[in-house]
Amino acid sequence: MSNEYDYNTSRDRLILPEYGRNIQKMVNHLKTIEDREERNRAARTVIAVMGNLNPHLRDVSDFKHKLWDHLAIISDFELDIDSPYELPEKGALEQKPNKVPYNQHSIRYKHYGRSIVMMIDKAVEMEPGEEKEDLVRMIANHMKKSYLTWNREAVSDEEIFMDLKSLSGGKLEISGELKLPETRDILAKSRKKKVGGGKKKQQS
């Protein structure tokens, strides 16, 4: 009686582990079938078994196409069969994916965030009118709240208006008559939210 055990670490590497070792063995056997017609029939049988093992793929578009592609990959592209689809090229799968471009926009005042800058850009493009004025007032309010989120010191409305003018390239201005929420009110609301959130966590 042999004392040797068949460990996974001593077996051949599975090319697509999600299909399991039995499918890998079936595909390896396909490559040994000399008669082309018999090999094609056996390949269709293996495709059916692969589909049953992965029913979630049925919701994926081109379900059958993906199975035939996977069969080619499992065989290491060494299986000579009449596939109903054009098979992928091995070289294409070995190519490194293209680098994903990341947004490199620099933000002059990081405490306002990118969303505020985008809103300002939108307001600049709008035609003069009540809708534009409402948006600019809303932006100014958000700017003051954002400023106080990161800087707990008091900030004057005039400073917010100057930052708005700077970020818009001088295209958006607010008269000194507009009054933004008081610093103490904004900070008080912020503290209430934190306290309320802490109580909910304790109760849950």
CB count within 10 Å of CB 172 equals 19
Quick check: 107 pLDDT over 70?
Answer: no
* Under 8 Å between Cβ of 13 and 60: no
Residue 125 half-sphere exposure, CB side, CA atoms within 13 Å?
6
Mean local confidence (pLDDT), 108-115:
78
Name the residue with higher pLDDT: 78 or 189: 78
| Alpha carbon of residue 91 to chain centroid | 26
CA-nearest of 203, 198, 154, 204 to 180 is 154
Four-CA torsion 62, 65, 67, 68, nearest 10 degrees: 180
**How far, in Å, are 2, 25, 33 from residue 12 at the CA level?**
21, 10, 20
Enter the DSSP assignment of 99. Answer: P
| Higher-scoring residue by pLDDT: 144, 191 | 144
Average pLDDT, the chain: 80
Q: Which residue, chain included where needed, has tokens 């990081």?
A: 110
Burial class of residue 13 (count of CB atoms within 10 Å of its CB; 0-12, 13-18, 19+): exposed
Residue 152: band (very low, low, confident or very high) from pLDDT cuts 50, 70, 90: low
How far apart, in whole angstroms, are the C-alpha atoms of residue 15 and residue 73? 7
pLDDT above 80 for 40: yes
| Cα gap 32→17, rounded to integer Å | 21
CA angle 118, 121, 122 (to 5 degrees): 90
| Cα(128)–Cα(111) distance, integer angstroms | 28
Is the pTM above the cut of 0.75? Answer: no
Q: Which residues contact 87 (CB under 8 A, 6 or more apart)?
A: 68, 69, 72, 77
- pLDDT value at residue 84: 92
